[in-house]
Amino acid sequence: MILAALIVFVLQITVANEISIAGVSPDLIVVLLILLITDRDPVSAVVIGFLLGFLQDLGNASFLGMNALAKSIVAYGVSRLGGDFLPESIVFRALLIVAASLVNDVIVLIVTTGFDVIEIIASFFRYSILSAVYGGIVGLIAMVVVKIMGPRVVRSRGGY
C-alpha cells in the first residue's frame, strides 16, 4: 500500500498535469483511496484517507491538512456505505470515484476559497465535475487492468 501511494503521488505531481484536458487533471489520490478502502472498516478507511491526504498535502504546504481532512471525510463516508450496500460492479465503483471526487473537491473548495459561495460554485462547475468524471474514467481503466491481471499467488519457492 505504501509503495502504491508513493507511485500514485509521483504520478499525480508529474504525469497528471501532462494529461490534463481543458486545464483539468484527475485526482489520482482519490482513485487510489477508493480502490483501497471499499471493503474496509471505517477506522481503517479514515486512517488510509488521512495518510493519503497528508501525503498530498506535502506537495502543497500552504493548506496543510486540507487534503487530509477531505480524504478522511470521503473515506469515512465510503466505508460506511461499504460491505453489503455496495455492489461489486466495476462501473459502480467508477461512479463511486466520481462521487468521492466531487465531495472531496467541495471540501477543498470551501477551505481554499474562504467560504466564498460564488467562487465555490464557479470552480465546481468549471473544474470539479470534469475532474471527477476524468478520475472515474482513470479508475475504471485501473480496475479493468487489475481485474485482467488477476490475483497472483507466489509459490513458496518463488515464481508465480
pLDDT for the residue 154: 53
User: Cell 486545464 maps to which residue?
Assistant: 23
Rounded CA-CA distance 118/112 in Å is 13
Rounded CA-CA distance 76/71 in Å is 8
The full set of domain ranges for the chain reads 2-149
H or E stretch including 43?
Answer: helix 42-57
pLDDT for the residue 160: 47
What's phi and psi for 106, nearest 5 deg?
-60, -45
Could you tell me the three cell numbers for 29? 489520490
pLDDT for the residue 157: 58
Give the pLDDT confidence of 136-152 residue by residue, as tens digits: 999 999 999 988 887 66
Rounded CA-CA distance 81/67 in Å is 21
Residue numbers in the chain where pLDDT is lower than 70? 82-84, 151-160
Q: What CATH class has 2-149?
A: mainly alpha
